[in-house]
Every structure is written in C-alpha cells, then in structure tokens.
Structure 1
Amino acid sequence: MQTVPASSGNAVEATRARNPGIDLLRGLAIVLVVLNHLGLRIPLKQSALADVLPPWLLSRLNYNGYEAVFVFFVISGFLIAGNALRRRGSLERIDLRAFYARRFARIVPCLLALILVLSVLHLLGVQDYVIHREGQSLPRAIVAALGLHLNWYEGRTGYLPGNWDVLWSLSIEEVFYIGFPLVCLATRRRGVLMLVLGALALSMPWTHAALRGNEIWQEKAYLPGMSAIAIGVLGALLAAHWRLPPRRTSGLLGWLGAVGLIAATIFGAAMWQLLRDGYLLLLAVSALCLLLACEQRQRRGPWQPWRGLGWLRSWGRLSYEIYLSHMFVVFAVVRIFRLAGGDPRWGHLWYLLALPLCWLLGKAVERWLSLPCERWLRARLLRPRTAAAAPVAMAVD
C-alpha cells in the first residue's frame, strides 16, 4: 500500500507496480472504513439525506467498515504473495530476510509514530484518547499493539479508544505474515501449500461462527481474518500460473466480483439471512474475483478504469496511512459538530469536511513519515541488489 513510483529501470515491473483497478478497490474499502467511523457518531440515516435516499441504504453506507477490512485482507494477501512470486518465481524459494525486512520497513514507522502520539495524548488526559476502561492500561495497550495481539486484548478487556482500536486488523495481518514465509519454506511443494491455504480459506464461516458469544473477539479473531488473507494468496498463485484468458473471461470475473461485493455489502442483511457466516466467504471470494479481473486487464497493457475516479484511486494509494490516522480527523470533526449544536439533520455536511481532511492527513503522513522512513530502512535492511529495486517493490507491498 504505497505510492512510490515504479523504477524506470525495469519496464515489466514498472507496468505492474500500480494497478489502477486494485487501487480503486482499496480506495472504496478505506472510504467505507471512514464512513463507518463517522456513521457511528453522526449517522447518515438521521440527516436530511434520508429525505431523498432510503434509510437502509444510508445505514449500509455507514456500517460496512468491518466488511471493508476483510476486503483489505484479501487485497493484502494477493499483492504481497504476488510480489514475492515475481521476485523469486516461487513461494517455496521465498527470501525470508528480505520478506521480513520489507514488512518491517512498511509497517513499523507509522505504527511506532501512532503509538507515541496516542501515548502522549493519553498522558495529557485529552478527551477521546484516554484509556479508562477497567482492566486496561496504557503500558498494556502498548504491549498489545507492538506484540500484535491488540485484537485479543480487546476481546478480553473491551474496546480501546478509537485510534487504538484500528490496530486490531494489523495484529491479524502481521501475525499471518510472520508465519507465512516459514510455512512456504517448510512445505516446499506448491500443492501442499495450496492445500494448507485452501483449508484455512474454507474454514472462515466455521471459525467465525464458533466464536459467537463474544462480539468483539468474533469480529477480531485471528483465524477468520487470516482466512481472507489466505484467499488472496491463493488468488496470487492462480494468477501467476494462469495464461492470459479471453477478455470475456476477465469481464465475467469482474462482473461476478462486483455483484458479489454489492450483495455482501449493500444487501448484507439479506445475505446474512441466506448464508449466515458464509456471507464473509462470499465477500472475500467476490473481492478476489475483482482482483483477478484487474490483474488480467493489467497484463494487456496500461489502462484506467472509469474516468473521474482518480480521487478514489488516490485514497487506495494512501490506504495504510489513512487507515492509521483517520480517527484523529473523525474525533476532531465530531467534537466540532457537537460544539456547533450537533443537529443530525445537517450531519451529512460534516462528512464533506471530514473526508478531505482524512485524505490530506494521510498524504502528509505518507510524504513526511512513511515514505522517507521506508526508503531509509529498505536501503539498510536489504542487500544492495534488492535495495536497487526497492521503489518497484514498495509500490505494491
């Protein structure tokens, strides 16, 4: 999830560095996350928009943040596994040191900066940032965030303040990627690896249903999220060994993915009644169909899906930075909204302020923190030969 331009020294990798369709899907997912966190505090269904749009549709726009994170999981597995395949030709020959170095350089700078800022705000007693729930403390929250078990910690003690809470998905994703290259090296055979990944992917409905009884843990447990990442990895393996299919096949994949994604998000209640916990599997497979369609379209040459959506693709390019920082904007806008009287009829207008500010903050974080830190770390953690190609890799990790 990076905006670094592709290196001009490798034309093949340069064309693969940015897939506009995947950026568009990531942009949609991060916008849904932001709409969710705004909607929990300023619901669109209570605004004047309800006079012209169905309240159920406004509710779905506000309450698909959880589903959007699962889409991120699928995208992450697809891109990171696909990147490893292009570098090494096979996941069984994955470079352990380089893999971990790239993940460290991408994830840790923003994570450490966020934890530092949140710790200072807690110690200063700033409202919305103080950890006050019984059984929780700042030192324990820091350990949970850095130890990649903040999801488990919340499942045991309750929700942390919003800026801390977003780190639950990072705990799942990075635990997966700690074990992923080890499993690849241990299995040594693609068939065995695909069997393991397939079992994990298909387990999603059952692992999600088995955790019913603890709402927080059910939403944030490791296995359902890892199942979505595994689906993305399987998709990358399929794409790497799939000859370019006819345009009609790629188009069919795209339409199937779009219909499935709409069904699981806009008509999520009906899908839940029909599929129960299987609706998450529908969501993940639909996201994968869209990713495969975008990948196949990219192989045919440069393209730009739907003119006028460049702004949404830019959200996708900044999705990691926006995800970690957007709650600062949400809390600030909600605070001003309430000080201004908090009239829910005009709540939708505050979205017009919050959304651009989220993008601007994400852009600032990328420009002044994540991008320079990632370049600096990669130059020192990777071998010279790998470091030279780092700008290309950064574009899709």
Structure 2
Amino acid sequence: MNTHLPLPGAAAADRNRGIDALRGMSILFVVAHHFAIRIPLTKTALADFLPPWFLKGLIYNGAESVAIFFVISGFLITRRSLTRWGDLSALSAPQFYLQRASRILPTLFLVVALLSALHLAGVPYYVIDKPNQSLGGAIFAALGFHVNWYEGTTGYLPGGWNVMWSLAVEEVFYLAFPLVCLTLGKVRWMFVAVLAALVLSMPFVRMALHDAGGGIWYEEAYLPGMSAIALGVLAAMFATRIAAPPRWLASALCALGGVGLCAVFFAGTPLWKAIGEYNVWLLIGSAASLILGLHWQAAAATPWRLRGLGWLRSCGRLSYEIYLFHMFVVFALVAVFRSGGFDMRWGFLWYVPALVLAWLLGLAVARGFSQPCERWLRRRFGHAVMQPFVAQTAPG
C-alpha cells in the first residue's frame, strides 16, 4: 500500500481519479474493520433496522480490502515502470529501489519509533508482552519486512505493529520484482507464465494453509498476497497492449468488477458455501477488472468526472499514511469509549469521527513528514543512481 504518491515530476494527469477512489474506499474498509473489532456495528442500534449481512459487509472486509490494495499496487508499479523505462527488461534496479525506499522507509521508521516509545512507556494497547515476543524482535521484523513471519511463529503483535504484515508481503515482492524483470523480462512468455502461476496458485495455497491449521499464516502468508500483486502486474502489462479500447469495454469492466466486489463483500457466506477458497479468484479478478476499466475510462476522450468523490480520492492518495497510523486513532477512541462508559447501542456514532481523524492524521503525517522526506531522498540520491544509467545510454 505504498504507491500512493506520484513520482517526482509526474504530471497531475498521471493520477487516475477512479483508482484513487477505489483505494480510498479500501482504506476506509480497513479502518472500519479494525474499529469494529472493538465496537461492532452489529451490537449497535443500527442492527434494529439494518440486516446483519449488510452491517457485516461494511465492517468485516478488512482482509479483502488489503487484497484489493495488492492488486492496485501491482498495477500502478508496473504501469509506472513501463512508462519510465518502456520495457520491464530495461528497468533500472537502483532507480526502482530508490523510489520504493524513499516512499516507504521514512514513514515506516517514524511509526516504528512511535510504537517503540509507547511500548517503553507502558501505554495500554501498545505493550508487547507475549512470552516469545520482544520489542527488539518486533522492530527487526518490521524493518526486515517479516512481521507476518514473526507473528506466525510467536502470535499476534499489538494492533499498531500487526498492520505491517501486509507491508512485509508487498515489499518482499518488490525486492524481487526488478530481479525477475531483468532476468525474465526479455522472455515475455516465461515472465507471464510465472505471474500466471502465482495467480492460479492462490486458492490452493490457502487450502493448504487451512489444512495445516490455519491461524495467522492462513491470513498473512506471503504467497497469497503476492498472487494478488501478480495479477495487478499482469493487468498493467495487458493495459499497455490496448491503448484505446472501445468505450463500452471499459464501462463493462467497471460494472463487472463492481458487481463482483459487492458480491464478495456482502454475500460472502453464500459464496463461501458455493465455491469455498475459489472466491479469492472472484475477489482479485473483480478488482483487476475494475482497475482496468477505470484505467481505460480515464484515457477515453470523455472520461468520467467522478464528481463529489474528492474526499474519497484524498483518502486514496493518503492510504499508506492512513494505513500505518490509523491504529493510533482506533485505540484512542476505543479507550475514551470504554473509560467513559458509553452505551454500545450508540457506538455507530463513533465511526465517522474515527474515519475523519484517521484521514486527518494521515494528512498531517504526509504533509509534515513523509512527502518532505521522499522529496529530499530523491533529490539527494537520485543523481547517484542515475549516473550508471546515463553512462550506459550515452552515445559512443
């Protein structure tokens, strides 16, 4: 979830409003999910007149939303790489890693430092106190992109640390991405075959994890997340092959993707009974369909205006910061709710403040820290990583 800022010098048009809105919707579902674990909508007054399937669809699709993030991330990283280098086999690994590091690491260091300070201060909800866990182990796991592995062997970390499991999946994929592009990029069929194999393996890997006992690894294992990212990569490669598809095709893909995601979110129980683990193909396939449709709609002569969704697009642009920092808001509001003895029936009134405060905190972190750090790092080290590329492409 870390492809949320345009590359330096990128035109404003490089941002796709529809994809930003989809990303914004996904991050709101994640925040709502983590808030609902503590204050579930199904125990509030809304349950008196709204059906359980609808309320559960609103609050218990955090993992599904993360899978959508994975597909979006694979699509955007690949599309921007193709725009910058023309072909994935020409990708510059130093430049790619600088872009990812400048975007990810400063904000990651900041949240790790804050969580560590709160642990040392003994603040409730932030203390790491399980027998096989330690602050040092959590820090190493967070900065080494293996929080999922650490949790799989020791148990769940406090919520502020736990959210970094998806970052571990995504960044391990992108550590390998340039290497795979440079070795297999020129053999297009082999590159596509590897990505397709990852996508096709997703439900079978989940079945194996479930049969092995499920638990944390069932939720946070590397391969299923990488499968979703791989589908995003394939979608971006396909998008470059069809520059100007018929308008009806883009609209149809958006409609199919939207219907598929609604089915997964709001009819999850019947779907599970019907197709079991294969529903993950419907989830990531619907996300890829919607992303492709939105991408081609933006390229049309008369693209959708998407009026009134500026707030949702803003959430999408800030989704990395919101994702890493929203648990501070969740824990603060839950602490106030519980200590104040508020009635659970009115708990639904706390959701909007939680979403708004998570957005405001993400905005503050982005403008005050992550964006300035990203710009400084790219200015400071951009010339160094460009030098070999310039030398290789200079005439003579």
The range that moved more, 18-27 or 238-247, is: 238-247
The Cα shift of 1:3 comes to: 4.7
Shift of 1:159: 0.5
Are residues 1:259 and 2:254 paired?
no
Query: Could you say if the C-alpha distance between residues 269 and 330 of structure 1 is closer, same or farther in structure 2, counting changes exceeding 3 Å?
Result: same
**Aligned partners of 1:162 and 1:305: how far apart in 2?**
37
Which of the numbers 57, 66, 83 marks the counterpart of 2:54? 57
Summarize deviations over 1:107-159 as a string: whole Å, max 9, x none. Answer: 00000001111111101101100001111110011111111111011011111
Matches within 5 A, 1:234-253: 234-253=234-253
Q: How does 1:133-212 map to 2 (within 5 A)?
A: 133-187=130-184, 188-212=186-210
Who is 1:380 aligned against?
380
Report the secondary structure of 2:127's partner residue: coil
Q: How many residues align?
A: 382
Tell me how far 1:313 sits from its aligned partner.
Answer: 1.1
Contact 1:20 1:303 (C-alpha < 8 Å) held by counterparts = no
Deviation, 1:2, is: 3.3
| Residue of structure 2 equivalent to 1:2 | 4
Offset, 1:70: 0.3
Tell me the SS of whatever aligns to 1:276. Answer: helix
2:369 and 2:200 map into 1 onto residues whose CA distance is: 38
Superposed counterparts of 1:32-181, under 5 Å: 32-181=29-178
Partner in structure 2 of residue 391 of structure 1: none
| Structure 1 residues not aligned, in runs of 5+ | 8-12, 388-397
Give the CA deviation at 1:6. 7.7
The answer to whether the 8 A contact 1:20-1:304 is kept is no
User: Equivalents in 1 of 2:11, 2:197: separation in Å?
Assistant: 34
CA 1:297–1:147: 2 relative to 1, 3 Å? same
Deviation of residue 243 (structure 1)?
A: 3.1
Q: Percent identity?
A: 53
CA distance in 2, matches of 1:44, 1:304: 33
For residues 386-397 of structure 1, the aligned pairs below 5 Å read none
RMSD, aligned α-carbons: 1.7
1:305 Cα deviation after fit: 4.5
Amino acid at match of 2:176: G
TM normalised by structure 1 equals: 0.93
Distance 1:137 1:67 in 2: 30
2: CA distance, partners of 1:4 / 1:345: 42
Structure 2 counterpart of 1:244, one-letter code:
A
Is the 8 Å Cα contact of residues 322 and 359 (structure 1) preserved in structure 2?
Answer: yes
Larger mean CA deviation between 239-248 and 130-139 belongs to 239-248
Q: How does 1:244-393 map to 2 (within 5 A)?
A: 244-301=244-301, 303-383=303-383
- Alignment of 1:18 with 2:15, yes or no, is yes
The DSSP-based 3-state class of the residue aligned with 1:244 is coil
What whole-Å deviation, never above 9, does each CA across 1:329-352 have from its counterpart, x for those lacking one? 000000001112131100001112
Moved over 3 A (4+): 1-7, 301-306, 384-387
Q: Is the 8 A contact 2:152 2:216 kept in 1?
A: yes
Question: What is the deviation of 1:15?
Answer: 5.4
> Quick one: structure 1 residues 15 and 326, their matched pair in 2 at CA, closer, same or farther if it must change by over 3 Å?
closer
Equivalent-residue separation in structure 2 for 1:60 and 1:226 (angstroms): 24
CA contact (8 A) 1:21 1:305 kept: no
For 1:383 and 1:88, locate their aligned partners in 2 and report how far apart those are by CA, in whole Å.
Answer: 17
Q: Give the 3 Å change call, closer, same or farther, for CA 269–110 of structure 1 in structure 2.
A: same
TM-score (norm 2): 0.93
Encode CA deviations 1:167-214: one digit per residue, 9 max, x unaligned: 000000000000011011111222211111011111110111111113
